Amino acid sequence: MNKVEFSPSLMTMDLDKFKEQITFLNDKVDSYHIDIMDGHYVPNITLSPWFIDEVRKISSLPMSAHLMVTNPSFWVDQLVAQKCEWICMHAEVLDGMAFRLIDQIHDAGLKAGIVLNPETPIETIFPYIELLDKITIMTIDPGFAGQRFIESTLDKIVALRELREEKGYKYVIEMDGSSNRKSFKRIDAAGPDIYIVGRSGLFGLDDKIEKSWEIMKKDYEDMTGKALI
């Protein structure tokens, strides 16, 4: 990828200002990150596939669904029916299902992603890594916003970049968790293609989304020395 992309995590937005925030961000960001939690894989219950339809009423940007669920097949069926552009599943729950679900997503003309928890090594996905369109590295434990940034997870981003170059793989690399002024410099050094930004990096910076974006943009540019296009 030629430029860093930003994908806001919509579970951390101000739902009272849903239309206002999405309308503004449509011209600023590259995609939207939709967290779907079932209350089992992680304790929280957040967004669901219906939310994608609501966003699509006012946005044409790609949607990326992050499935924090114990039964990915159930949710993949729904998201394929909705033509969700990216469907990302946790490697930790895919034993015996990975190839089938990846094929199902691809057969529908959609993109398949895998998410790795902080303690999950990248070797876990080696059997099917060449099939993946995206790999998301969790830099916090999944399920809750605002947790401590786990710096050691950045080593996986570096390793995935090196592996992609060596093997000619096509996946993009995404990071998810505590992406903000305190961590931008370290994340930039690791070199992911996509930053997911949530409450600490975007939505919680100001009551107005316009001001929040300007703060985030300045934070990124100050800490990395790179212009956010």
177 is in an annotated binding site: yes
Q: Could you tell me which residues are beta bridge partners of residue 96?
A: none
Q: What is 165-222 written as a DSSP string?
A: HHHT---EEEEES--STTTHHHHHHH--SEEEE-IIIIITS-SSHHHHHHHHHHHHHH
16 is in an annotated binding site: no
Any catalytic annotation for residue 107?
Answer: no
Choosing from 133, 176, 193, 219, the catalytic residue is: 176
Tokens of 71: 């039964």
Choosing from 35, 133, 193, 219, the catalytic residue is: 35
Closest C-alpha among 173, 172, 188 to residue 220: 188
Any catalytic annotation for residue 35?
Answer: yes
State the helix-helix crossing angle for 72-81 and 49-56, rounded to 10 degrees.
Answer: 20
- Give the integer Cα–Cα distance in Å for 197 and 194: 10
96 is in an annotated binding site: no
Closest C-alpha among 161, 32, 144 to residue 86: 32
Q: What is the DSSP letter of 147?
A: P
112 is in an annotated binding site: no
109 is in an annotated binding site: no
What is the rounded end-to-end Cα distance, in angstroms, of the chain? 14
Q: Could you tell me which residues are beta bridge partners of residue 172?
A: 134
178 is in an annotated binding site: yes
Contact 29, 61 (CB under 8 A): yes
Could you list the residues known to form a binding site for substrate, using ranges: 66, 143-146, 176-178
Q: Which residues are catalytic?
A: 35, 176
Could you list the residues known to form a binding site for a divalent metal cation, using ranges: 33, 35, 66, 176
Could you list the residues known to form a binding site, using ranges: 33, 35, 66, 143-146, 176-178
